[in-house]
Structure 1
Amino acid sequence: MTVEIGLGLQSDKPAGAYARLARAAESHGFDVLTVFGDLMYQPPVFPLLEMAQATSRVRLGPACLNPYSLAPYEIAGQIAALDLASAGRAYLGLARGTWLGAVGLAQPKPLATIEEAAAVVYRLLRGDRDGYRGQVFTLAPDTALRYAVQRPDPPLLIGAWGPKGAALAGRIADEIKVGGSANPDMVPVVQDRLRVGALAAGRDVDEVGIVLGAVTVVDTDGEAARAKARTEVAMYLAVVADLDPTVTLPDGLVARVGEFVDAGEHDAAGRLIPDGVLDRFAFSGTPAQVAAQAQQLIDAGVRRVEFGTPHGLTDDRGVDLLGTAVLPLLRR
């Protein structure tokens, strides 16, 4: 099995920064560049198109778009544009999305919504004019894109933690991403959950690649890197901690961390996170420490490790260290 190493970037940077980081990442030998689709950040298509023009080899995609705030025909258009700009290197990430209540969006029938959105997107990309009628989405017969596409079938990634989302990925996806995890113990859990859907669809579970990605902070000053990672993890610990059935947290930790985060005291929140918990939800420390964490995931059976933002004490420094000091340790 060929294992990919990728970078995940937040869409909070000015024009030009993405091209610079993408060129550096490709020159170092990274395989995939992902842009997150988090609420109230720039739409991922902007940085992805910039990175497509600055690279020639790496795969590119959003992880993830959600079909509540973006209609499937718009998703199809954005992926078609990215695939055209990158000469066939795009992938599509779909997930239910998080925190959409803040903009007044309910999220009913999440599994049907994701599955039907994928069905509509790929019908449009294939030029299928038969129409589609689901519980959530509809395409009238003869509804078709009015422009040429690069490929009818860019790979599909589904972002999911739970059993039902993983089973859906097992039925229809090329990859599943467990975001916010650096925990090798999650890999066999995800494999078992994927297998349920794969068997139902007559697929081999190994057809679906498992991607784990999380906050990453690497620096030659390992303690400074881990301190920054603690602060970053504190902001989303409450979201992901309850999703991992293999982790037992100290009593009251999530509530205490949440109180500090709500008060804007992120450093104090981070200091509460023990080393063992930090290592389940982030890659952090010296290059050797980060490489060792990633190698555990590879040994557990992931197809892709994704080093997420902020990468280092600064983006450029982090990407450089990941490329020059971490990647060589993983590819010996």
Structure 2
Amino acid sequence: MTVEIGLGLQSDKPAGAYARLARRAEECGFDVLTVFGDLMYQPPIFPLLEMAAATERVRLGPACLNPYSMAPYEIAGQVAALDLASRGRAYLGLARGTWLGAVGIAQPRPIAALRECAEVVYRLLSGDSAGYTGEVFTLAPGTALRYRVWRPDPPLLLGAWGARGAALAGRIAAEIKVGGSANPAMVPVIRERLRAGAARDGRRVDDVGIVLGAVTVVDRDGEAARSRARTEVAMYLAVVADLDPTAGVPADLVARVTDLVGAGEHAAAGRLIPDDVLDLFAFAGTPERVAERAQALIDAGVRRVEFGTPHGLTDEGGVDLLGTAVLPLLRRPPTVAGGPPAAAKTATTGRTGPREVEAG
């Protein structure tokens, strides 16, 4: 099995910073660069295009865009632009999205919305102008992109934790990302959730790469790194602890952390998080400790480990230390330069034109 190591970046940086980080990451040997699509941050297309121009080998994509705040034809246009700029190194990440209620956007029927959004995107990229009528999205006959695309089928990643989302990924995706987790015990759980969808469409469960990614803080000063990571994890512990059926995080701990975060006491909230809980939801500490946690995921069968922001006590220092002190410690097969794992290529959708995904 080919294993990739990636970096996940927050889109909160000035112009030029993304190119510097991307060049350094590629020099160090990272395989994939992801930009988060979090609410109220810069749209990921801006940093992704900057990074595409600064690199030659790494895969690039957003994790994730959502079908509620962006129409499928716009999503198709953005992934086509990134694929063109990177000369065929783009992937598309889709998820239902989080916190959209803050901007007045409802999220009804998320599985249907994701399924149909992917269908419309790949119909447009493939040049199919026959039209499409779904429960959520439609394309009128004759509707087609008015520009040429690099590829009709850049790989699809779905962001999901739950059984229904994972089953959908089993049917249509090349990868599934479990964001906010560094827990090896989640890997077999996700694999079984993928299996239901994969079996329905005659695919092998191993056709879908499992990606786990989480907050990462690495530093030679391991305690300083873990202190910073605790503060970061406190802000989303209430969400991910509830999603992970294997974690067993005490409800009273989650409640106390949530109350402190709500009061703006992030550092105090972080100090409540014990070491064993922190290691489930972050890569944190010395390079050796971070490598040990990442290796546990590789041994559990992930196809990609993604080290998320803030990487270190500083962005540049964290990326450099991950590349020079963590990557050399990981035991993994060589990656396929410039492209996704071979299984992911066939798992994208398996089509040169769109494959109909039936409703239901």
Q: TM-score normalised by the shorter chain: which range applies? A: over 0.9
Separation (CA, whole Å) in 1 of partners of 2:108 and 2:148: 33
Partner of 1:204: 204
Corresponding residue of 1:41: 41
Q: CA deviation at 1:239?
A: 1.3
Q: How does 1:78-89 map to 2 (within 5 A)?
A: 78-89=78-89
Q: Extract unaligned runs of 5+ from structure 2.
A: 333-360
The letter for the 2-side match of 1:283 is F
The 3-state SS of whatever aligns with 2:291 is helix
Partner of 2:274: 274
d(CA) in 1 for partners of 2:26 and 2:60?
Answer: 11
Match of residue 354 from structure 2: none
Mapped to 2, the partners of 1:324 and 1:290 lie a distance apart of: 13
Q: Determine helix, strand or coil for the equivalent of 1:61.
A: strand
| Equivalent residue number for residue 235 of structure 2 | 235
Number of equivalent positions: 332
**Partner Cα distance (1:240, 1:100) in 2:** 17
- 1:114-153 equivalences under 5 Å are 114-153=114-153
CA offset digits 1:95-137 (Å, max 9, x no partner): 0000000000000000000000000000000000110000000
Shift of 1:287: 0.2
Alignment partner, residue 299 of structure 2: 299
Identity of aligned residues (%): 81
Partner of 1:309: 309
**Structure 2 counterparts to residues 181-260 of structure 1, below 5 A:** 181-260=181-260
Match of 1:329 in 2: 329
Shift, 1:145, TM fit: 0.3
Amino acid at match of 1:75: I
SS in 2 for 1:128: coil
Q: Alpha-carbon deviation of 1:331? A: 4.0
CA–CA separation in structure 2 for the residues paired with 1:294 and 1:227: 19
List per-residue Cα deviations over 1:276-319 (Å, max 9, x = no partner).
10000000000000000000000000000000000000000000
In the aligned structure 2, how far is the partner of 1:39 from the partner of 1:270? 23
1:63 aligned residue? 63
CA distance in 1, matches of 2:289, 2:166: 29
Deviation of the 1:271 alpha carbon: 0.2
Letter in 2 for 1:99: W
1:172: which partner in 2? 172
Tell me the TM-score normalized by structure 1: 0.99
- Which consecutive unaligned segments of at least 5 residues does structure 1 have? none
In structure 1, C-alpha distance between the alignment counterparts of 2:116 and 2:311, rounded to whole Å: 35
* Aligned-pair CA distance for 1:16: 0.2
Q: CA RMSD of the aligned region, Å?
A: 0.6
The alpha carbon displacement at 1:263 in A equals 1.1
Local SS of the residue matching 2:69:
coil
Give secondary structure in 1 for the equivalent of 2:38.
coil
- Once residues 140 and 32 of structure 2 are traced to their aligned partners in structure 1, the CA distance between those partners, rounded to angstroms, is 35
